Each structure stands twice: as structure tokens, then as C-alpha cells.
Amino acid sequence: MNKQGMEQGRQRAEDWWRTDIIDMRPGVIRLRGHEIQDLIGNISFPAMIWLMLRGELPTEDQAGLLGVALSAAVDHGPQAPSIAIARMAATCGVGINNAMASAINVLGDVHGGAGEQALVFLQEIAVGVDAKGLPQAVSDRLDRFFEGSNGYVPGLGHRFHPVDPRAPRLLDITRTYAENGTVAGKLVNIAVELERQVALRKGKLIPLNIDGATAVVYGELGFPAPLTRGLFVLSRSVGILAHAWEQSQKPERNKGPLPREWLWRYSGDEAALE
Amino acid sequence: MNKQGMEQGRQRAEDWWRTDIIDMRPGVIRLRGHEIQDLIGNISFPAMIWLMLRGELPTEDQAGLLGVALSAAVDHGPQAPSIAIARMAATCGVGINNAMASAINVLGDVHGGAGEQALVFLQEIAVGVDAKGLPQAVSDRLDRFFEGSNGYVPGLGHRFHPVDPRAPRLLDITRTYAENGTVAGKLVNIAVELERQVALRKGKLIPLNIDGATAVVYGELGFPAPLTRGLFVLSRSVGILAHAWEQSQKPERNKGPLPREWLWRYSGDEAALE
Amino acid sequence: MNKQGMEQGRQRAEDWWRTDIIDMRPGVIRLRGHEIQDLIGNISFPAMIWLMLRGELPTEDQAGLLGVALSAAVDHGPQAPSIAIARMAATCGVGINNAMASAINVLGDVHGGAGEQALVFLQEIAVGVDAKGLPQAVSDRLDRFFEGSNGYVPGLGHRFHPVDPRAPRLLDITRTYAENGTVAGKLVNIAVELERQVALRKGKLIPLNIDGATAVVYGELGFPAPLTRGLFVLSRSVGILAHAWEQSQKPERNKGPLPREWLWRYSGDEAALE
Amino acid sequence: MNKQGMEQGRQRAEDWWRTDIIDMRPGVIRLRGHEIQDLIGNISFPAMIWLMLRGELPTEDQAGLLGVALSAAVDHGPQAPSIAIARMAATCGVGINNAMASAINVLGDVHGGAGEQALVFLQEIAVGVDAKGLPQAVSDRLDRFFEGSNGYVPGLGHRFHPVDPRAPRLLDITRTYAENGTVAGKLVNIAVELERQVALRKGKLIPLNIDGATAVVYGELGFPAPLTRGLFVLSRSVGILAHAWEQSQKPERNKGPLPREWLWRYSGDEAALE
């Protein structure tokens, strides 16, 4: 082959896979422009996550707050479909990476996506705060919400926990970071006002849940809403791995959702081939 | 860019993805060398599966027998991890393809792989049949097996069904196809002799199970053992889809493995941050 | 434990997993009310798919036409992300079921979902056909479509094939089944009229593609639109398996998207830790 | 229903899902025995990972070194099948969690599993060090290895990087942690001696690679070899998310492995339906 020509075809193909994230040559790996050996050991794991996703290094406090939110949502137990799936998969003769993949795969709009929806809701309120003040901005958004729905306001309420112990803790910590200037604190205030006004309308407290609380943190740190689902996946992967690993240490094979000697109820009709 | 050179680079890249399976040009699709419009409507779905996997068209009887085996293993109910996973995934706000993927992903060595192991076992016996006769070939292989294991012989026994109703039916049908010359029938005979000798050794009948029976069929049809797991995936995908679809028609969200108001038992220690 | 009490808890759990699809007792497996040994060997694989998804047995012609559509979409080559993923996965040391799962998982709204959208579009037209006639029903729907979009009408056009050879073939076959009364033929007529009117509006033929053609078949057979994506997964799984299997027979390890000696272009900024 | 009886059935089911990892009651979440609000904000994200996987809190230095290793392997660019898969999936109309799952799923024995194999190799050497000294223990293990293989020693060598810049950096850092007593340093010494002896046998330096270097770190920290693959998944998930996210910001749909106008080469035979 003509060497020059090959180079041009190669260039077209290499352009097809271009990326701003990583650069590589033999002996050289650069992440977002930084030599990797300069990053290793010099920045924390949350800082590395931030750099990879956003292209620039966070301050130590930004990385610290990101790590707090990532740590908060690692697990919610085997009643969560993702965790149950990880444990069942681990008994089926597949790799631990496969068990994790089957589990992560279900962290969709319903199971995990609530944080994304909550952040969008908070951001829609935020747009109006400067012009009309916090209480009015919240009230207007709630008016619109309750026109179309009787359901739960995104980020509020939990079917199991009367108060989710993670949420107030996350808000407190975010407030501390707002005081030292790491974040603006605007979404914290919106969340608190939202909780207050919904309690007034409903006649009872429907407290901020973990999705709402992490939405506040990720939003304060400037992450776009759709990316927060990815952050949730990174966080929940820890619990998924822990459960898959624990299960893989046990002798069970082909673990089903119910005790082995139980079945399921057939609710269909009888039929016959005629 | 130099046009000739680009062509050469393109050729290198196109070689990288070369395949014997499909050929395409604008307006033309050929599968294994056949114009697709000549295949559509002229061959059955199992025949298409055969053609894609093996590169040549089966006889009608070969395709017929393949379809029989594919139909036999479509479902084993929600106690199977794959089916439970499909149903739980369907409640998490992901697509039906995602629910299927999470489920198919767990059809590994333990959950689904037994057919592959059973076929290998049968084929190892088959190697000795011509030289030493069927009874001796089976007996020798069993001697070696029981030296190393007290467990179940691959393809025999079921923890739930005393006799799996699918297995004798599949053997009967395969015998019919052996009589008309579609298959040789050698593995059918091996399976029957294997069942007989294991019963003598164990003092009770451990009947052929579905994995053993489909192994016989796929082996008689000439499929290599590792490919039978892929055939099982095609087969079980039908049940996985049916369950994911049924579940998606129900209002449940985030369905866990146990009734909603139940939890799990914590079996670990208490601890305290000091 | 109290036996009666255990039974009641068990009943609650077994209700949690209730299904109309499968019933099981030791030695008995019933699919949609039919003993499985009565189904095996008596119905075709497409008929089994139909039974599992819809709860009743199809006529032989209905099953025949379903098989035709399932066969038509098995593969579109390694430029399809699903096929490329299956091949790359097969080189990474995972099982063939895992390779299939990673591939099937991407058959979402964009890659595979077009058939679902096409069927919805055709069904929206069908609603108006009785009242205002076919040409007007099509015209009205197109008016509404082009108000909101300049893009491709669902089910028409292909970026690669000027005429997709699968589409006219599928329409022809469906017409034959309409003539013998297996299907009504209404959606075939809508598709043809749609193609005609879009050609008039655009000044050139934008022919029916494979998504539109399979949408016609599945719709004529009475499958709901969201389930057609599941049918597409069953169909494309065949090609995915064929490619994963072919790749697994080759020695390549860790196969990337480009020839091994090529990289990708870094398009980001340089940076430095200061 | 009889309340006592229901409770007993429930207990059986709750035992089925027992775990040492998480305990939950309304308003209470405990991870490994710790109230979650006591953990949030008080331990780093790597410390949380450690706690979840091992059941006890690490020292700050242990968590620090774990974070170093997790940060080192986040990405290796789009030529890695996992990264290419994440990017292609992101263009197919699936969620970011689905794109991540398809990618993580391929981190099997070949793509990612090398670290596990390297750690097993290092640990096998470690067993002999006390009895026969480091050089002899390494030499004996290499003798056995080269009897059975001409291939690469696990953890050494890279097809792309003459020296992988991550490896020496990770060894240096681990040495520092050995000096302050966080780890024993035994595996660091083994790795160095291994590299030295292999260089002598081969007549050229085959340097430690990233898999070998992270194996050293994880092994020094006391993680069992099979769990290191899970740690690699957590690490590489960061790059997978970054690439899926970057790709999802671009307008490409159905991105294939090659530039859109290129195909693949058909290497099979022609055929004809006769």
C-alpha cells in the first residue's frame, strides 16, 4: 500500500473516535491534558471523577463535597431491584463485572432517575428566584405542578422512611460548604422552602429524600441534571459490588427471588390443545 | 486528502471488521451469500438461525428439529433468576431491550450452561463408542466421573421435577428424526444408556433433564457445545420477553424480590464510630 | 415454626410473583395453560413465541407470517453498534450470553426503536381511515407531522439503501396473507399510500424501510407497538449470536473499534498541574 | 390471614435475603453497623468503598492508598472495547446507565481480569518468600511458569506502552506507604524482583504494567484477588461514564465502529438458493 494514502485513511478513522478526554502515545497517557503520573497520588478519587467528567480540576472543597454525595447513596439493601439482581446474578456462574452490569442496567428513570428529575425541578425554581423572590418562585412552580399531578413532588417523600436520615445530614453539610464559599447555597434554600410550602399545602411534612438531597449537592456543584444519574450509578455501584461479592462467597447456585421451596402463583387460565 | 491513499486506509479498516456472515451494498443485503429477499418468506425462522450460525441452509427436517429444541426451553418461571430479573427490571423505568439484556446476561455456567457441559460429556462418550461399544464407553466415562465427583452427572437430575416432562418428549421426537435419517441417533442412545447405568450405580433413577435432552438434540444436529449456550439464550429470550412484557403492563414500580412490606434480615455485627 | 402460619406467609410471597404465563408443579410445566409436552413438537418456534406473548395459539398462517418478519431483521452487519459490540465483547473474556446482553442492551429508541414509532404512526392513520378515507387520513397525519418536523417520516427512508430489499419483499408477502384472510391488509395499504404521498410532497421517492415494513407485519398481526421492540430484539439476537460466535473462533483479544495500530485523535486542550 | 403465621412465612423470606452489609428500619439506615448519618461527611469515598466491601473502617492512610489505585485506572481511551462500547451505546437511544452497563459487562478475564491473575501470581510467590528467600521464590515460580507457557508473565508487559507511566508511579507511592507502615511492602519487593528476573531471562526489560501495579496495591491492602476485578470496575466506570457523557452531547445517532461511509469486507463465499 501507498504509505501516504494509508495515513490519510487512518486519519479519517482516528477523527471518527476523537475525544477531549484522553490523549495517548507510547509511554504517555494524558487525562484532560494532564500527565497521568502527575495526577496519581496528587488528587483524590472524587477529584479524578470531577476532572474526567468536567475537564478541569476541582478545588479540594469541591472534590470533598462531591465525595460526600457519592458516599451517601451507595446502598439501600436487597429490596432494591438493583441489589437483588446483583446478588442473584452472582449465583449464576457469571463474572462479578457481569453481575454489576445487570444491576447497574436497571438504574433507570424510576430506580435512580428521581435525582435527575428533582434537580430539574429545583433548577426551574432557581430561574425565578432572582426576579420574584424565593417564596413566590417556589409557590408558582408548585401551582403548576399540582395542576398536572397529585403525586409526590420530585425529591420529597419516601415510601419507607418517615425521615430519610441521609437527607438532613447532606443538607447540613452542604450548608457548611455554602458558608465557606464552595457553593452558593441557592438550591439548599430552595429545597428547604419547597419542603415548607409542600407541608403547608398537604397539611403534613413530606421531607426531602435522598434523591432530593443529592440533587441539591450535585446541582450546587454545577453538574448538569442528566449527568447526576451517572453519578448515582458510580455511587450505587459500590453497594452493588459489595452485595455481589458477599453473595459470591456463599454456596448458593441459581438463587431465585423467593426461598427455594416456594413457587409463584399461576393467575392465568387453563387451556387445552384441541 | 489524496483519494487513493484514503482508499487504502479505508481498506485496512474494512478488513478489520471483515466477516463471513453478511455482505452489503446500497440496495443489496446478502446473508451467507444469499440475497436476503430470496430468504425472506422461503425459509423458516429456525432455518434462518441455522444459516446464520453455520453458513449453510439446513434441510427442512433439520430446521424442524432445531425449532423443537428452541421451543422446549423458553421458560421456567419467576423462580429462575433470569425471569425474576427481567420482571424487576421492567419496573425500573428502562426499555424492554434493557430488561431483556439484564436477564440474558445471567445465563452463565450455572444458569443455562449445563447444556454445554452435558453435550461435552456425551461427546466424550461418543468418541469411545465405536471402539469399545456403547455400554463400555459409558461405563468408562462414568468411572472417571465418579472418581472426581459425587455430584450429578451432567444432563441428569433436577432439583424440582422428579421427571422433567420436556426431556422424554424431546428424546422421543429426536428418535423419530433419527428414524427418517435426519440425525444419526447416536447421542440419543448414549443418553438412554447413561440414564440406565447411573440408575444402577445410584440405586434409583436420575432421569435426563432439559439440559441433557436439548444437548442431545443440538449435538445430533452437529452444533458445537459452546454454541449451545447461545441457542439456549435465543430460546429463553422468548420467556424473558413474555415476562418483561407482562410485568410492564402492571403499575408496579421498583419491584423488589419480596412483598413490599417485607425487608431482609441483617446478619452482621453492630459497630460504632469511635 | 407454626406450619399454618408459614403457609400464609408463603402465600403472600407467591402472590407477589404471580403470573399468567407459566404454571409449575413437580413433573408438570404448563405454558399459558398447555402442558409443555403437548406443545413441544406440535407447534413451530414462531407459534411458541406468539403463545408466550399473547396467551393464545396462533393459526398456522399467523405463525408463518410472524416467522417471516422475525427472519427479515436478523442482521445488518458490523456497522450496526449492536453487532460491533457483540464482536468486541466476544474478545474480552466474557461468556457468549454476556456478549449478547451487551449488544441487545443498545437496541433502544434510536437503534431498533424505529419500528415501534413507525407502527404508532401507522395506527394513528388507521384510526381515521374509516371516517375520512385512506388518502385523507394519510394526508391529515402528514400535515400534522410536517408542522412539527422536517425529518424523516417514521418507517420511510434509509441512510444507506436507496431501496431496502427487505421492505418490498415483506409487503408482498403480507399482501398474500391478506388475500387469504390471515390479516386485514389495512396497514399495508396505509404504508403504500404513505410512501406515495410523501414522494409527492418531497418530490422524490423515500421508500419504506425495514422498520416500516416489519411495523406493517407486526401491526397486521395485532401486536401492540411497544412489544414490537421486543420482537426486534428476538430477531436481531440471531445476528448478534452469529457475529459473537464467529468472532469467538478467532484469536483476537481485546478487539477495539479500529485496527490495532491506530489510535484516536485527542481534540481537547493541553493542561498542566500548577 | 392468621397474623402469627404470616409473620413466620415472612421470617423465612427475610432470612432468604439476609446480609451482613446493610440494616434498615423506618428512619434508620446502618451500613456495616454504622448509622449512615455518622458516616456521611466523616469518611472519604474510598473509605466508604472499603467499609462496604470489608466490613470495617480503614485507617486514613489505607483509604488514601485505595483511592490512589482507583484513580490510576479510570481510562485507557476509545481503543479499549469498554470505552468504545460506552460511546456507541450512548448514540442508540438508551439511558446513560444502560451505556455504562453494556461497557462494564465486557471487563472480563481478558479486558480487566489481568489484575486478578497478576495478584494470584504475586501471592503464590509470597507464600515461598519466608522459607526460601525472595530471589529463590521468584525464580521457582518463574521456572514453573515458563514450563507451561511462552507468554507474558501476569502483570508484566504492555502491547502499547514501552513503559506504562502509571506503574512506576504506583510502585513509588506504595513504597511510601510501606515506609510509614500502612502496608508491609512485601508485594512491592516481589514485583521489583520479578521484573528483574524476567528481564534477565528474556534479555530485555518487560516492565510492570498497570494491572501488575494495581495488583500490588490491592494485594498490599489485603483485598482478595477476585475482588480486585470489582475494584477495577469501580475505577474504569469513571472513564466509561465520562466517555458516554461526552458522546451523548454530540448529535451522532447509531454510531458504528468505523466512519459512516465505510463498511466492512465480506470474507465469506457466494451462495445461491437452488
Residues 98-127 of A with CB under 8 A from B: 98-99, 101-103, 105-113
Q: Determine, for residues B32 and D262 on separate chains, whether the beta-carbon distance falls below 8 Å.
A: no
- The ipTM value here is 0.96
Q: Give A272's pLDDT tier (boundaries 50, 70, 90).
A: low
Spell out which residues of chain C touch residue A56, defining contact as CB-CB under 8 Å: 271
Q: What is the dihedral of CA A152, A153, A155, A161, to 10 degrees?
A: -30
> Residue A145: what pLDDT?
95
**CB proximity A256 to C under 8 Å:** no
The continuous run of DSSP H or E covering D31 comes out as strand D28-31
The predicted-structure confidence for D241-253, as pLDDT tens digits, reads as follows: 999 999 999 999 9
Residue tagged 421435577 (cell numbers): B161
SS (H, E, C) chain B: CCHHHHHHHHHHHHHHCCECCEEEECCEEEECCEEHHHHCCCCCHHHHHHHHHHCCCCCHHHHHHHHHHHHHCCCCCCCCHHHHHHHHHCCCCCCHHHHHHHHHCCCCCCCCCHHHHHHHHHHHHHHHHHHHCHHHHHHHHHHHHHHHCCCCCCCECCCCCCCCCHHHHHHHHHHHHHHCCCCCCHHHHHHHHHHHHHHHHHCCCCCECHHHHHHHHHHHCCCCHHHHHHHHHHHHHHHHHHHHHHHHCCCCCCCCCCCCCCCCCECCCCCCCC
Instruction: Give every residue of chain D whose pLDDT is below 70, as ranges.
Output: 1-2, 5, 272-274
**Chain C, nearest residue to A256 by Cα:** C17
Mean pLDDT for chain A overall: 94
What span, in angstroms and rounded, lies between the C-alpha atoms of D106 and C220?
39
List all chains that touch chain A, counting a touch as 3 or more CB pairs closer than 8 Å: B, C, D
CA C89 to chain centre: 22
Report the alpha-carbon angle A260-A262-A267, nearest 5.
Answer: 135
* pLDDT greater than 80 at residue C150: no
Distance CA B264, CA D24 (A): 9
Give C156's DSSP letter.
B
Q: Kindly provide the b/e burial profile for residues B211-248, where b requires at least 16 CB atoms within 10 angstroms of the residue's own CB.
A: bbbbbbbbbbbebbbbbbbbbbbbbbbbbbbbbbbbbb
Residue ranges of B 14-33 with Cβ closer than 8 A to chain C: 15-17, 19-22, 24, 26-29, 31
* pLDDT over 90 (residue C177): yes
* Stated pTM of the model: 0.96
Average pLDDT, chain C: 94
pLDDT digits (tens, 9 = 90+) for A65-101: 999 999 999 999 999 999 999 999 999 999 999 999 9
pLDDT value at position D2?
Answer: 62
Give me the pLDDT at residue B273, please.
Answer: 45
pLDDT for the residue C30: 97
Q: What is the pLDDT of residues B247-265, one digit of tens each?
A: 999 999 999 999 999 999 9
- pLDDT for position D5: 67
pLDDT value at residue D272: 52
What is the pLDDT confidence band of residue C273, given thresholds at 50, 70 and 90?
very low
At A274 the pLDDT is 44
pLDDT at C272: 52
Euclidean distance between CA atoms C137 and C122, whole angstroms: 10
Q: Distance between CA C207 and CA C163 in Å, rounded?
A: 6
SS3 D156: strand
Contact A161, D27 (CB under 8 A): yes
What is the chain D residue with the closest CA to B30? Answer: D270
Report the alpha-carbon distance of residue B29 to residue B20 in Å, rounded.
13
Residues of chain D in contact with residue B97, where contact means CB-CB under 8 angstroms, are: 94
d(CA B32, CA A137): 63
Compute the mean pLDDT over every residue in chain B, rounded to the nearest whole number: 94
> Are the CB atoms for D104 and C102 separated by under 8 Å?
no
Arithmetic mean of pLDDT, B234-238? 98
Closest Cα in chain A to D159 = A26
Interface test with C, best of B45, B48, B254 (most C CBs within 10 A): B45
C9: chain D residues, CB-CB within 8 Å: 5-13
What's the gap in Å between the CA of D115 and the closest CA on chain C? 14
- C-alpha grid cell, residue A201: 399545602
CB-based contact, B252 to chain A, within 8 Å: no
Alpha-carbon span C152 to B176, nearest angstrom = 52
- B-C CB pairs within 8 A amount to 259
C-alpha cell at A49: 471523577
Is residue B108 scored above 60 in pLDDT? yes
Q: Distance, in angstroms, between A106 CA and closest chain D CA?
A: 7
Over 90: is that where the pLDDT of B196 sits? yes
pLDDT in tens, B56-89: 999 999 999 999 999 999 999 999 999 999 999 9
**Residue B272: predicted pLDDT:** 52
> How much is the average pLDDT of C197-211?
95
Residues C209-231: pLDDT tens digits?
999 999 999 999 999 999 999 99
Residues 37-96 of B with CB under 8 A from A: 77-82, 84-85, 88-89, 91-94
> What confidence tens digit (pLDDT) does each residue in C61-94 have?
999 999 999 999 999 999 999 999 999 999 999 9
All structural domains of chain D = 22-58 (no CATH), 114-226 (1.10.230.10)
Quick: pLDDT tens for B27-52: 999 999 999 999 999 999 999 999 99
